[in-house]
Structure 1
Amino acid sequence: MAGPQINAPPLLVLDNVSIGYRAPRGHLTAVDRVSFTLAAGERLVLLGPSGCGKSTLLRAVGGFLKPSAGQIRLHGKTITKPGPDRMTVFQEFDQLLPWRSVLGNVRFALQRGNGLSRRDATDVARDWLGRVGLERFVDAYPHTLSGGMKQRVAIARALALRPALLLMDEPFAALDALTRRHMQDELLALCEDTGSTTLFVTHGIDEAIRVGTRILAMTPHPGRLAASFEVPVETRARGTPQFAALESHIQQSVFADSAPAHADA
């Protein structure tokens, strides 16, 4: 099982990044002077309330937004546009191609993104769909799937391309609480099995602890880094004193003046 490559150069570097927009009343700063690094094999969670700029940062890492100031570098090179080295899973269920089957969605991404032949893409797609428990649904179409199943397809499609960085923007927020917890556990197992490097956005402390190896908490308006929390392996199991202690510590340190930020509330 692969883990973070702590002694290697950082995979991702955000260097004093600010992101702003034009607004009716002038310039709006969404993200203000954010800096952090992400090591290969690490699962870094951006945690904060709505409006803190965490999804904005994720889109900038994906190459869909250009920082107003600062730099974002992947493998030492400045990110200027989207690329197959960064795959994103969103919370929306309509991110799949509705006219393609489950197998077709994953196969198409592999053919376009990795240049595989149809036969090779089919083999890889079937393997990944099996890993997420959808081997019996390869011929189904997105409109026949539940929300959790659609997210499994999206995760399989993203990981099948073997990206350098998996970007996840509150991918389970629209699911019911029980399905959400199952999906968090399945994602954790997949990431630990593959050694995937993940940048994960959430507003839920419970979810952040469960899926992350490190948590960066953000403050809103504009988004700045407020605190950093390491998540040891023994802390990730729900129901343990260690999990409860870290959850309470984050709540008191960052969200003491706001409503509880629980993903499963």
Structure 2
Amino acid sequence: MTAPLLQANRVSIAYPTRDGLLTAVEDISFSLTAGERLVLIGPSGSGKSTLLRAIGGFLSPTAGDILIDGSAITRPGPDRMTVFQEFDQLLPWYSVLGNVRYALRRGKHLSDDESGRVARNWLVRVGLGKFLDAYPHTLSGGMKQRVAIARAFALQPRLLLMDEPFAALDALTRRHMQDELLSLCEEAGSTVVFVTHGIDEAIVVGTRVLALTPHPGRLAASFSVTSKSRVRGSPDFVGLEREIQHTILSPAEAFA
């Protein structure tokens, strides 16, 4: 059997409050092998982003542990790269090309020539070949997210973490970005943990979907996504969408 790249072993995460510890994530376990795309979905307050931050090394579990390649995650590292929902992830004083080159020089210690070659390659692949010299303030939200995604792929992390990266985009741009991300992931064989509120997005992007309960977040169910169920509007897609919906919503909410 292939050893898992990522393991969460009975992970609980709590925050201190005036009234004591507030549990955000409780007793969650899962594993992820290289090349899988795991989507975390659940209602607000289910601990999706909290769990993602712990995988990134920005939070420590209150109980249990999270392992990457068999070693406990205790801090952020270059083996994990995060793309956030916010558009302001770019350094405003660098051009589109400069932002990706800077990350490559700092993160992978590439020379100027090599960082430029790699950065151009990924920016062209996300459709920004004509905007290499543009600055972040001149870009639309979707274009900024493309730069952030190109930067993430260029760094070739062991694990790509994405926290609702398309939530603030309009519906058409969001759908295009989902398809674009899926194509890049399949081409590069990337391993991804992706957080979303959208069931349709979870099915399109993921190979596996973990549904979390309302606060505190516990694992409610795991769903496998096949190539047939990923086709929007198909009977398999609609069936899986309904199954996930009924898992994460109350009966009243599911039929609202």
Shorter chain as denominator, the TM-score bin is over 0.9
Where do 4+ consecutive residues of structure 1 move more than 4 Å? none
- 1:83 aligns with 77
2:38 aligned with 1:70: no
Superimposed CA distance per residue, residues 79-118 of structure 1 (whole angstroms, 9 cap, x where no aligned partner): 1110111000000000111111000000000000001011
Q: Give the deviation of 1:254 after TM superposition.
A: 2.6
Superimposed CA distance per residue, residues 218-247 of structure 1 (whole angstroms, 9 cap, x where no aligned partner): 012111000110001111010111111111
Q: What amino acid sits opposite 2:10 in the alignment? A: N
Match among 134, 155, 160 for residue 149 of structure 2: 155
- 2:9 aligns with 15
Superimposed CA distance per residue, residues 162-197 of structure 1 (whole angstroms, 9 cap, x where no aligned partner): 000000000000000110000000000000000000
Q: Partners in 2 of 1:175 and 1:243 — Cα distance?
A: 23
Q: Give the deviation of 1:259 after TM superposition.
A: 3.8
Q: Partners in 2 of 1:230 and 1:258 — Cα distance?
A: 25
2:23 aligned with 1:32: no
Q: Partners in 1 of 2:253 and 2:188 — Cα distance?
A: 36
What secondary structure, in the 3-state scheme, does the structure 1 residue paired with 2:183 have? helix
The alignment's TM-score, normalised by the length of structure 2, stands at 0.98
Q: Partners in 2 of 1:258 and 1:180 — Cα distance?
A: 28
Gaps of 5+ in 2: none
Superimposed CA distance per residue, residues 189-219 of structure 1 (whole angstroms, 9 cap, x where no aligned partner): 0000000000000011000000000000001
2:198 aligned with 1:212: no
The root-mean-square deviation of aligned C-alpha atoms, in Å, is 1.1
What secondary structure, in the 3-state scheme, does the structure 1 residue paired with 2:51 have? helix
- 2:184 aligns with 190
Q: What amino acid sits opposite 1:101 in the alignment? A: S
Q: What amino acid sits opposite 1:195 in the alignment? A: G
Q: Give the deviation of 1:249 after TM superposition.
A: 1.4
- 1:3 aligns with none
Counterparts of residues 83-122 of structure 1 (less than 5 Å) = 83-122=77-116
Q: What amino acid sits opposite 1:86 in the alignment? A: R
Q: Give the deviation of 1:159 after TM superposition.
A: 0.6
Identity of aligned residues (%): 69
- 2:35 aligns with 41
- 2:240 aligns with 246
Q: Partners in 2 of 1:15 and 1:248 — Cα distance?
A: 29
What secondary structure, in the 3-state scheme, does the structure 2 residue paired with 1:93 have? coil
The alignment's TM-score, normalised by the length of structure 1, stands at 0.94
Gaps of 5+ in 1: 1-6
Q: Give the deviation of 1:258 after TM superposition.
A: 6.1
What secondary structure, in the 3-state scheme, does the structure 1 residue paired with 2:88 have? helix
Q: Partners in 2 of 1:143 and 1:226 — Cα distance?
A: 42
- 1:169 aligns with 163
- 1:129 aligns with 123
Q: Partners in 2 of 1:155 and 1:219 — Cα distance?
A: 29
Q: Give the deviation of 1:253 after TM superposition.
A: 2.7
Q: Partners in 1 of 2:104 and 2:214 — Cα distance?
A: 38
What secondary structure, in the 3-state scheme, does the structure 2 residue paired with 1:180 have? helix
Q: Partners in 1 of 2:135 and 2:44 — Cα distance?
A: 32
Q: What amino acid sits opposite 1:94 in the alignment? A: D
